[in-house]
Amino acid sequence: MSCNEFNRMAGAYLDGELPEEERRRFEEHLASCDACRTELAELKRLTEDLNMMRFKEPGDEELQRYWAGVYNRLERGIGWILLSAGAILTLCYGAFKIIEEMIRDPAVSVILKVGVCALIAGLVVLFVSLLRERLVVRKVDRYSREVER
Amino acid sequence: MSENETALLERCRDGDKDAFGFVVKKYAGRASGAACLLLGCPHEALDASQEAFVRAWRNIRRFNTASPFYPWYSAILRNVCKSRLRRRARRRTVALTDGHGDSSSNSDPVLLAERNERRDALWRGVMKLSDPFREIILMKHFQEMSYKGIAAALGIPIGTVMSRLHSARRALRETLAGEVS
């Protein structure tokens, strides 16, 4: 085993992730190379320090604030859904009524009526296209799969 | 996983927000720390970890209560952080030095337990690493994941895990050496 190869495997050796055969070759080289022994000792110190690092556990007050933040978002989520649904229904109904009146009104020119109808048809086509795209993406979305894991 | 946690998670699945509160409080510290390592910004980390808990709650019915909560949650957290990093890149802001704070606040090791000079320096060194290096250090050393687990989570071969960890540790040693000299 060369010193380069040794260096590449040193981390996996310390992590206990080397297969038996490679571990044996690694230890043979270790026994015969002073420079690699020094290198391994330095790396060992680093990995031990990293392994000792832990995240701080927040205090009770911090935890309470943290949970309050999550809870507020959960509540607001329901609020946003209701608000959006209400707004969509109201806007759709309003738009329907306005367009209905405009189409029945003989004073409005035919060109404007055709224009408005084309606008609505365009919006519907775009909406359906986007919806279909979202559904296709959802099937191959890594996030959804990870959520199910 | 303790029986207690299984029971709590069952209650969460039944829509019990108080039970979810206990789960959130149990993992809040670890979640914020992990998000900080992934995003490089303590302030955004708090927000991202809370967002991930909200997503976890919304998908809790799809969670198998027989398995541990944290690995499932951390996959969600990782996705939340990745989206934020992508948004950040799109906005052409530079990671770690953007408007969320200066580099000193980003490298503040306040999220660490049992601090000492060496660990503070180590934390600052980790925070200076690139996103993929910080992520793999987080998985190996803070979340104590095996190479196999990391490979599965990142969708890369075990050989790549080994070489990426090797490069991350080498970069970290160089950063620490630079700090000392």
Whether the ipTM is more than 0.85: the answer is: no
Domain membership flag for residue A77? no
Question: Coil, strand, or helix at residue B112?
Answer: strand
Task: Provide the CATH number for the domain around residue B53.
Answer: 1.10.1740.10
Residues B67 and B102 in one domain: yes
Of B52, B84, B106, the domain-final residue = B106
Q: Are residues B33 and B52 in the same domain?
A: yes
Contact status of B4 with chain A (Cβ, < 8 Å):
no
Which residues in chain B have their CB less than 8 angstroms from residue A58's CB? Answer: 28-29, 32
Are B9 and B44 within one domain?
yes
| Partner-chain contact A55 B118, CB within 8 Å | no
Check residue B97 and report its DSSP letter: S
More confident residue, A135 or A127: A127
What pTM, to 2 d.p., does this model score? 0.70
pLDDT tens column, B128-144: 888 889 999 989 988 88
Burial readout A58-91 (b: 16 or more C-beta within 10 A, e: otherwise): beeebbeebbebbbebeeeeeeeeeeeeeeeeee
Kindly state whether residue A68 falls inside one of the protein's structural domains: no
Domain span at residue A98 reads 91-149
Q: What pLDDT was estimated at residue B26?
A: 92
Closest partner residue to A70 (CB to CB) among B24, B59, B75 is B24
SS3 A55: strand
Total domains in chain A come to 2
Q: Which of B57, B72, B79 sits opposite A143 (nearest CB)?
A: B79
Q: Are residues B84 and B15 in the same domain?
A: yes
Cβ neighbourhood burial of A139 (10 Å; 0-12, 13-18, 19+) = exposed
pLDDT at B25 over 90: yes
Which ranges of B91-157 would DSSP assign to H, the alpha helix? 103-106, 117-127, 131-137, 147-154
Shared-domain flag, residues B17 and B75: yes
Residue A24 within any structural domain of the chain: yes
Specify whether the CB–CB gap between B166 and A8 falls below 8 A: yes
B87 touches chain A (CB under 8 A): no
- Domain of B51, in residue numbers: 1-106
What pLDDT does B3 receive?
Answer: 60
The tens digit of pLDDT for each residue in B84-134 reads: 988 887 775 554 554 444 444 455 666 676 677 787 888 888 888 888 899
In the A/B pair of chains, how many CB contacts fall below 8 A?
118
With 60 as the cut, is the pLDDT of residue A148 above it? no
pLDDT over 90 percentage in chain B? 31
Q: Do B127 and B88 share a structural domain?
A: no
Q: What is the mean pLDDT of chain A?
A: 86
pLDDT for position B176: 86
Shared-domain flag, residues B12 and B84: yes
Spatial CB neighbours of B80, under 8 Å, sequence gap ≥ 6: B35, B48, B51, B52, B55
Q: Mean pLDDT, chain B, as a whole number?
A: 83
Residues of chain A with Cβ-Cβ distance to B112 below 8 Å are 53-56
State whether B102 and B121 are in the same domain.
Answer: no
Pick the closest to residue B44 from B79, B84, B83, B72 (CA basis).
B84
CATH code for the domain of B149 = 1.10.10.10
Choice among A52-56, A115-119, B108-112, B143-147 with the minimum mean pLDDT:
B108-112
A48 and A102: one domain? no
CA–chain centroid gap for A16, Å, is: 31
Domain count, chain B: 2
